[in-house]
Amino acid sequence: MSANFFGRELVREPRCPFCGNVIEPPKELPVKMPRDMPVGACPCGAVYACDVTGHNIGAAMIEALVFGCGMDWDLAWSLLPQEDYLENIVEHYDIVNHLIVPGGVYEGRRISGTLFFIRLQEDILEVTEEGIRKRIQKARPIEPKPTTERKSKPPLSKKQVEEFVRSYKPQPIIEASKTHHQTMNNLQRLLYSPDDRFRMRAAEILGMAASEVAEDNPEAVSRLLQRLFTSITDTAASSWGAFEAIAEIISRRADLFAGYIPQLFSFLADDTRQADCLKAVGTIAKSRPDILRRYTFYFIPFLQSPKASVRGYAAILLGNLGAKEAREDLKKLINDPNPIQIYDNGSLKEKTIGQVSHDIVKNME
C-alpha cells in the first residue's frame, strides 16, 4: 500500500530493508527488556525494535540485538557488527497506523519513530531462530493505554518525602509515587545524603516505589535506572546511593529489569567500585539467586581481595547464592576482624567479616 499526492509519496507499508518483504507491526514481549520497546521479526531472519521517539537509537539497537540473540545478553555482547550481524534503520515510522511517512507528518502528528533492524549471520541465526519464533508467538499487540482519570491526593512535598524516609514510613511514599512520579525524583535526591542509614532507607523505599510504578509505567522506571547508572559513570556527579537504589529496584522487579544486571557487572573491573557493586549484586541475589547462580565462580576470587569491604560483600553475595563450592574459601575468612555495614529493613548494623562468614558457612552445613 502507498499513497501519493502530486507524485510525492505520502505513506507506504513498512518493509524489511534486508529482504524487501512487508513486516508485521512490532509487538510487546511478555518479559520486558530494559527500554520496553516493541519488537518484531521478519521471515528472512531479521529482527527489529521500535523507538517511537527516534531519540534512543542506541537503545533500540541493543533491544533488537538482545532479542535476536534469544534474550542471551552474554551472546549479544560477544558479537561484532558487520562480522556477526548486519544492521539497518528505517525512519519515519508511525506505530499508530503501522506506516512509513516519508514527510514526517501524518494526520496532524509529527512522525519520528524508528525501526532498528538486525540480521544475524546464518550460523548464529540457526541457534537463535527457534527461540525468536516462540517469543513472537507469545508477544501481544500494542494496546493504547487507558486514558481514564483517577482521583489522586496532592503530591508529597520534598520535605514530606524526607520526613517519611527519616521515620521509615514507606507506604505514603509508595502511594504517592503511583500517581505522582515526581516523588521518585525527590527520593533520588536523598541518595546523596552523607547519613548512611538515611541514604540506604531512601534507596530501599525508592525500590519499593519503583516496583509499584513499574506495573503501569515500566518506561518511567527504566528512565530512572538509566539516570542512576549515569550518576555512577559521570565523574562530575555523585554516585552515593545509586548502587543501592539500582539493586533495590532490580531485586523487586527482576522480571522487568534483569536486563540491567550486565551493566552492574561492568563496574567489577573498577577497584574503587567493586565493594559497592558486589553489595548491589548481593541484594539482587537475596531475592533472585536463580538468575545469578551461573556466575558463582566469577565472584569467588573477590574473597581474597586486599580490601575488607570487597571480601565482606563478596561473602554475603556468595551466601545469598547458596554457593557451597565457596565454603572452603569462606572458612578462611572466619577470623577476619574487619567490620562491614549491613542494612536490613530500615536498620543498619555492623558485623565483622569473620562473623558473617561463620554464619554463612554454618547455614551451608
Domain assignment present for 244:
yes
Residue 275 forms part of a structural domain: no
Domain boundary pick from 254, 269, 284: 269
**What does the block give as the cell for 261?**
544486571
Query: In angstroms, what CA-CA distances link 180 with 73, 212, 217?
Result: 33, 12, 12
Task: Tell me how many domains the chain contains.
Answer: 3
Indicate the pLDDT class of residue 279, thresholds 50, 70 and 90.
very high
What are the angstrom distances between the C-alpha of 306 and each of 38, 263, 311? 46, 24, 8
The gap from C-alpha 244 to its chain's centroid, in whole angstroms, comes to: 14
Q: What is the pLDDT of residue 123?
A: 93
Q: What span, in angstroms and rounded, lies between the C-alpha atoms of 343 and 304? A: 23
Residue 359 lies in a domain: yes
Which spans in 180-253 are helix H?
182-189, 196-216, 218-233, 242-252
User: How far is the C-alpha of 278 from the C-alpha of 265, rounded, in Å?
Assistant: 9
Give CA–CA dist 102/251, Å, rounded. Answer: 43
Q: Are residues 158 and 207 in the same domain?
A: yes
User: What cell numbers appear for 102 in the block?
Assistant: 516519508
Mean pLDDT, the chain, rounded, equals 89
Burial environment of residue 48 by CB neighbours within 10 A (0 to 12, 13 to 18, 19 or more): buried
Whether 15 maps to a domain, the answer reads: yes
Q: Are 10 and 137 contained in the same domain?
A: yes
For residue 291, CA distances in Å to 110, 163, 254, 257, 261 come to 41, 36, 9, 12, 10
Q: Is the pLDDT of residue 148 over 50?
A: no
Q: Is residue 286 part of a domain?
A: no
Is the Cβ–Cβ distance between 56 and 145 less than 8 Å?
Answer: no
Is 357 within the bounds of a domain?
A: yes
Q: What is the pLDDT of residues 233-261, one digit of tens each?
A: 875 455 689 999 999 999 999 888 888 89
User: Which pLDDT does position 146 carry in this prediction?
Assistant: 47
Q: Are residues 74 and 105 in the same domain?
A: yes
Q: Are residues 218 and 195 in the same domain?
A: yes
- The enclosing domain of 237 has a CATH number of 1.25.10.10
Share of the chain above pLDDT 90, in %: 66
Pick the residue with more confidence: 157 or 152? 157
343 and 264 within one domain: no
> What confidence tens digit (pLDDT) does each residue in 72-111 have?
888 888 899 899 999 999 999 999 999 999 988 888 888 9
Which residue range(s) make up the domain with 332? Answer: 292-365
